[in-house]
Structure 1
Amino acid sequence: MANPKYEEWLTPEGLTLLEGWARDGLTNEQIASNMGVAESTLYKWKNEQVEISEALKKGKEVADYQVENALFKRALGFRYVEVTREHGEIVKEVTKEVAPDTTAAIFWLKNRKPHEWRDKQEISHTGKMDHRLDVTGLTTEELRRLAQLDD
């Protein structure tokens, strides 16, 4: 027998709450807690009720876009106006500049252009590798010295 409790979350108010919590960056665990259900119940309802799944997805997309935009802005650097107020009145406005953030730029490029910016480069070698070291004429002492070079 199905638990009809999910029905309260299918109302316009319930769906707006779910979308808002997702937009605010809450995890599924936190959203389930706010709903008064176990996280497993939330996953079940998401699978069974398209409206719940879509509300959460829509809210998370908004948050993701905001983070993407902030990362992009940080990667490029930006200017902003700092306003100083005393007793509610503007005393001065100063334009400040935030330098581009190399880490943000690298992160952006590694994710947006992984074939060109990933750390691991694929290098293929064609041809023979037929090199052999002849140690038959070496003394035990010479072999020991060679072995120590590898350390």
Structure 2
Amino acid sequence: MAKYDYWLTDDGLQLLAGWARSGLTDEQIAHNMGIAVSTLYEWKKRYSEISEVLKNNKEIADIAVENALYKRAIGYSYTETTKEDGKVIKTVEKEVVPDTTAQIFWLKNRQPERWRDKQEIQNSGNMDFNVTIKVVE
């Protein structure tokens, strides 16, 4: 059995899916597979099953993080339940205030033309103007 054969089985693809959904990089996934990252890149080109399972599950993880960042940026509320011996003792509604850092990160990445720190201004070079300096003694 060739080394890649296992990774094309349902068990192998499920393991790859789990690693991708957990946020592992291609380098980490290759390490877990016991292969060089260049081999993983080659297998992704050659075997669409491997490429698709990694792509789709990385996307799932990215969406989950994006949703969490968005939630943190706008703030949210949740119910905290305290239990003792399996019985509910207290239920409290808590609120997490919007996070300015999350808002800045979101805006800089989603709308960089409006929110980047450094604004680029282009000058056509066709502006003629004269400056007169008057020295007052």
Report the TM-score range of the alignment, normalised by the length of the smaller protein.
Answer: 0.7 to 0.9
Runs of 4+ in 1 over 6 A off after TM superposition: none
Measured in 2, the distance between the counterparts of 1:49 and 1:129 equals 64
Measured in 2, the distance between the counterparts of 1:25 and 1:45 equals 20
Aligned residue for 1:6, secondary structure, equals: coil
User: What's the offset of the Cα at 1:4?
Assistant: 2.6
**TM-score normalised by the chain length of structure 1:** 0.78
**Given the alignment of the two structures, is residue 128 of structure 1 paired with residue 124 of structure 2, yes or no?**
no
Measured in 2, the distance between the counterparts of 1:55 and 1:85 equals 40
Matched-pair identity in %: 60
Measured in 2, the distance between the counterparts of 1:122 and 1:35 equals 45
Measured in 2, the distance between the counterparts of 1:74 and 1:112 equals 15
Map 1:65-84 to 2 at 5 A. 65-84=63-82
Equivalent position of 2:91 in the other structure: 93
Measured in 1, the distance between the counterparts of 2:96 and 2:4 equals 46
Q: Label 1:27 to 1:124 Cα distance change in 2 as closer, same or farther (>3 A).
A: closer
Ranges in structure 2 where 5+ consecutive residues have no aligned partner: none
**TM-score normalised by the chain length of structure 2:** 0.86
Per-residue CA deviation, residues 11-60 of structure 1 (Å, 9 max, x unaligned), is 12211111111001112222112212222221221122111111110110
Q: Which structure: greater helix fraction? A: 1
| Aligned pairs, number | 131
Measured in 1, the distance between the counterparts of 2:32 and 2:117 equals 41
Per-residue CA deviation, residues 36-85 of structure 1 (Å, 9 max, x unaligned), is 22222212211221111111101100000000000000000000111111
Equivalent position of 1:117 in the other structure: 115
Equivalent position of 1:12 in the other structure: 10
Q: Which entry has the higher C-alpha Rg, 1 or 2?
A: 1
User: What's the offset of the Cα at 1:122?
Assistant: 2.0
